[in-house]
Structure 1
Amino acid sequence: MPLFPRRGAAPALDILAQMTTAPLHPVHHVDVGNLRLAYREAGDPDAPTLLLLHALGESSLSWDPLLDDLAALGYRVLAPDARGHGESDRPGEYTYELMTADTLGFCEVMAPAPRGVAIVGHSMGAVTAALVTAALTDPLPAGFPGRVTRLVLEDATPTRPGGPAFEPFDEPDHPVPFDWPLVNALRAQRSAPDPAWWDDSLRIEVPVLVVAGGPTSNVDQADLKDFAAGVADGRLIEIPVGHMVHDEAPAEFLAADGHFLGR
């Protein structure tokens, strides 16, 4: 389940079957502090890093069909499972601040070359990606491999105060592939966000591409437009297929990202 419900999107495995007959990229694991994170990867290990951050309730599996195409842009592509998701640890404590710290730690371990990283984030991952980018100001965190070089936010931005409240969801009566408590913990943060999330993120100076899902998305599209206009080097493109842009329109998403991220 992504941060906002899908509207007519096929399940991830159906999408994979439609796009490719290649096997899934294998899952690897790495220790980040006291947390064990799973991840998938593709591309030249010596190339600059492109980090893919998934939506709430998803995992690196959601990015799997795009890994090789994104790697072909000249990147080593890394797609981690966030805490509580996929095959990563489920520590029982979930905040955007912790996910930001996890991401910084993951980069410190996995991308030690001092050339920085480009980040693509979807929904929950877009919020984390913006917070990570905003955190990378002088002085840099000890050991971190440089700044974010480019940022893509797929149909989400950091929440600004005064927005709609996100009502808690009832726990489903069937198993889910993530730790259920994380859902309402993160939704509560989105309902009462730290004002610094929006304000600090607007001070991001690296190039930012906001990919909007258009009028059928459950996300406030005005926030996306305001964010793209408010950062120093922002641009916005609409792919009107709803919130699950890279699932519903992978070719269009890759074309937009390829133009923006191409090296």
Structure 2
Amino acid sequence: MRMELNPATRTSYTAADGLSLAVDLRHASGRPTLLFAHGFGQTRGAWNTAAATMAAQGCRCVTFDSRGHGESDRMPGGEYHMQQFVDDLIGLARAQPEPPILVGASMGGLLGLVVAGEIRPAPFRALVLIDITPRWETSGVERILAFMQAHPDGFASYAEAAEQIAAYLPQRRERKSEQQLRPLLREGADGRLRWHWDPALLAGELIGESERYQPRLLAAAAKVEVPVLLLSGERSDVVSHRTVDEFMTLVPHARHAEVPGATHMLAGDANDAFTAQIAGFIASLESVDADEAIEQPATRC
């Protein structure tokens, strides 16, 4: 078994409405702070390799399960709305010892854009967006949702689940083991294994009417003032040259890098290239901070 060099400390965060969110912390005394926000249908486990790598480079890394996902609480009655997730992210950011750099994949990135564009002062030091733009390619999102909706009755075994994931992500060389799948599946009273997310997430307006959020997302993007890095996958079917060009017009100070061979599941497809881009972005931020400190006039005691 491969040992993680920077194991996580399990903790939690209580949201404004009382729900408890599962949180992992690596390198509690490190800096800068990186707050990782996963995509729809994922868990904080999606960031394990990236968070451990960045913690080894000196960063304080915080990962969490969004409400209705993984080990976080589910909404009583199954009523999920975008603002709940926005408020959770604001609260988590403000709970950190310093404004964090938000690393957001897909849904996590969209939430980060809303927060950075609408809240003043922004609770983030900077944004790293992982294969997401305020306007997306509908066909790619529909493919993701089709996979999430395909097995409402679950799986008879971990091997069956691994086979379905392998078919959905053929670019991945290694099939997931039972140990890797355990955090992603829950065993029901009938003995069947079902995905970790609340089925109500797929039934409500959060997904069914997601495109109605685009005007808000586009308006928020145009107001983002913090440094931004957009990473897209060369083979992504969610982000395209068209959506990237629009985003760069809205956020002209942003940087964009395309990761060769990667799909929408960029962090898992090309993890070394992904973390190298983040490390380079952080180094550039620190360089700017150092230059600004040098330019400040000396104070006299």
> TM-score by structure 2 length?
0.70
Distance 1:184 1:252 in 2: 35
Q: CA RMSD in A?
A: 2.3
- What is the aligned partner in structure 1 of residue 118 from structure 2? 135
AA of the residue aligned to 2:79 = E
Q: Aligned partners of 1:183, 1:121: CA distance in 2, in Å? A: 20
Residue aligning to 1:6:
none
C-alpha deviation, 1:189, in angstroms? 3.4
How far the C-alpha of 1:135 sits from its partner, in A, is: 2.4
**Other-structure match for 2:251:** 231
Q: Which has the larger radius of gyration?
A: 2
The separation in 2 between residues aligned to 1:117 and 1:26, in whole angstroms, is: 18
Change (3 A) 1:236 1:229: farther
Q: What secondary structure, in the 3-state scheme, does the structure 1 residue paired with 2:209 have?
A: helix
Change in CA separation of 1:246 and 1:151 when aligned onto 2, cut-off 3 Å: same
1:218 aligns with 2:204: no
Q: Is 1:181 matched up with 2:163?
A: no
Q: Is the 8 A contact 2:30 2:55 kept in 1?
A: no
Mapping for residues 4-83 of structure 1, pairs under 5 Å: 20-22=2-4, 25-33=8-16, 34-45=18-29, 47-83=31-67
**How many positions carry a matched residue from both structures?**
232
3-state DSSP of counterpart to 1:173: coil
1:27–1:40 Cα contact (<8 Å) kept: yes
Decide which of 141, 151, 171 is 2:127's aligned counterpart.
Answer: 151
Q: Does 1:96 align with 2:72?
A: no
SS at match of 2:213: coil
- Partner of residue 242, structure 1: 263
Cα distance per residue 1:165-206 (max 9 Å; x no partner): 866754622111110221343322323225122122122111
- List alignment gaps of at least 5 residues for structure 1: 1-16, 141-145
Secondary structure, aligned partner of 1:152 = strand
- 1:254 offset after TM fit, Å? 0.8
